[in-house]
Amino acid sequence: MTRRKRYHVYVVELSNDVLLNARFMRSNPDYQPGKPCVYAGMTGLDP
């Protein structure tokens, strides 16, 4: 029997200050004002 890999998905709410960061805005051209700023990630490590 093979062991299945487990992954954990996480979401981090970012400060609205990231909207002042040019790199963030270039990376997220479809950002809709009024929506929360979040980072979503996945890891194989236990939380």
pLDDT of residue 47: 75
Query: Mind listing the pLDDT tens digit of every residue in the chain (47 residues)?
Result: 677 788 999 999 999 999 999 999 999 999 999 999 999 999 998 87
**CA-wise closest residue to 31 among 45, 14, 8, 9:** 14
pLDDT of residue 46: 82
Match 């996945």 to its residue by tokens.
42
pLDDT of residue 1: 66
Q: Which two tokens stand for residue 9?
A: 């998905």
Q: Please indicate, yes or no, whether the overall pTM of this predicted structure exceeds 0.85.
A: no
